Amino acid sequence: MDKRVYINKLSEKKGAEVAIRGWVNVRRDQGKMIFLDLRDMTGIVQGVILLSGATEVGKILREEFVVEVIGKVNARPDKNKKAGILNGDIELEILHVDILNEATTLPFPIDGDTRDVNESVRLEYRYLDLRNSRMQKNIRNRFKIQNFIRNFLEKDGFVEIETPLLSAPTPEGSRSYVVPSRIWKGTFYSLPQSPQQYKQLLMVGGFEKYFQFARCMRDEDTRGDRQPEFTQLDMEMSFVAEEDIMQLNEKMLIEIVKKYYPEKRIQQMPFPRMSYKEAMEKYGNDRPDIREDKTDTNLLAFLWIVDFPMFEKTGEDNVDGTGEWTFTHNPFSKPRDEYFEKFMRKENIGEILTTQYDITLNGFEIGGGSIRNHKPSALRTTFEIMGYDDERIRNNFGHMLKALGFGAPPHGGIAWGFDRLMMLLEQEPNIRETIAFAKTGDGKDLMMNAPSEISDKQKIELGIKIS
């Protein structure tokens, strides 16, 4: 008898005695025979226990018991074959069953569409929810596309580099999660909202083409397509213009759709482009849904939004209300060439357009980037327009200005909201359906019971008092 055989390979073993391991998906006791649908990560097979076989064990089996089954792979008679179904041409005659672990009654059924189950219950028992075939498909497809992207970018000369999760607090738009230092009491690390500064510093470091699937953390109000922590496909390139970055990303997105979602149709190739001004005037937002037919679930309408204003007036909801102006995307973007002199002279600030480009899909922003200010004098000008004084510029961004002064190449990049892209490709209602261990809409991890209090001992060690 062979070693363990995966269920999707059983058709290759007709007439042989095999061992399979997995879960009892369905059990049907018909008196003289007990039918079992057995499941592993590759699929499902129907097996039958006859009276002369492992009947006693079969009678105590229940759904989701973990078992090892010894059985004979029998070809189905032609009249009983099920075309187009995995293992539709065979049936497993079960000779012996070992129970590897029993299972208590599940809190909800996992064989149907678990989206119909209360989401709080699903997230509390996420490890059970992940057994569902739809969730398995989502997470496995996520991996396939990540793997494709890695290979695609490697062939183009990119190198994948991990950047730190513990960094320094800097004002980049959203609230940061902070981590207290035990050794340096009273000081804090910040978890990254994005690897923005690190990826630019890698350009200074001479790598020229960088990417990573970066974990990003932002302490902001959540909604369907946001989570406190999420994944970006992050990339940065040296000696490039906007067109180079946009064409590379467009090519990669088209190849992903053609390879993994051939049933879907891209509405327009090359992707159309629209200015921020036109989008706001025509649609009232900067991520318009331009699908010709919004009832067609397999229609993908990609769109580039360009010519964003570089600055906007600060408001009471702005994270940083230091001056009259703040950045629209991040402070590192470079103005378009035709506005550069006005920018350096700080003239007509509201009219300055930046090199920012966003990529949208069916009304969702799935990525955005820009060419960066690679000269320290230009980056300093951005902070001065925002009303930062010399001390604040030095304290928050002195390291960046110093680095750019050591021969930084012209560079730019982009980041995809990878969870959001997968949500749209898999036709899911929110990104939690494409994240293995997601949090609730209000940022709680019900499975691990986080966030939670820490002990008094930890508070003393960290020099923290809770008021």
Q: Answer for the pair 27, 60: CB distance below 8 angstroms, yes or no.
A: no
CA atoms within 13 A on the CB side of 403: 18
Residue ranges and CATH numbers for the domains of the chain are 7-101 (2.40.50.140), 124-456 (3.30.930.10)
Residue 409, Cα to own-chain centre: how many angstroms?
Answer: 30
Q: Answer for the pair 238, 208: CB distance below 8 angstroms, yes or no.
A: yes
CA-CA distance, 159 to 152, in Å (whole number)? 11
Beta-strand relationship, 209-217 and 273-275 = unpaired
- What are the residues whose beta carbons fall under 8 Å from the beta carbon of 284, sequence distance 6 or more? none
Residue 102: predicted pLDDT: 97
pTM recorded for the entire structure? 0.93
Residue 79: predicted pLDDT: 87
Across the strands, what pairs with 399?
Answer: none
Element (H, E) at 126: helix 126-129
CA-CA distance, 322 to 334, in Å (whole number)? 21
Token couple for 11: 């058709």
Beta-strand relationship, 43-50 and 33-40 = antiparallel
Burial label for 34, CB within 10 Å (0-12, 13-18, 19+), is buried
Q: Answer for the pair 160, 150: CB distance below 8 angstroms, yes or no.
A: yes
Q: Answer for the pair 426, 300: CB distance below 8 angstroms, yes or no.
A: no
Residue 54: predicted pLDDT: 64
Q: Answer for the pair 131, 110: CB distance below 8 angstroms, yes or no.
A: yes
Which regions in the chain score pLDDT beneath 70? 1-2, 51-55, 170-173, 222-225, 315-323
Residue 317: predicted pLDDT: 46
Per-residue pLDDT tens over the stretch 337-375: 999 999 999 999 999 999 999 999 999 999 999 999 999
Residue 318: predicted pLDDT: 45
- What are the residues whose beta carbons fall under 8 Å from the beta carbon of 395, sequence distance 6 or more? none
Dmax (CA) of the chain: 91
Residue 52: predicted pLDDT: 64
Residue 324: predicted pLDDT: 87
Q: Answer for the pair 65, 50: CB distance below 8 angstroms, yes or no.
A: no
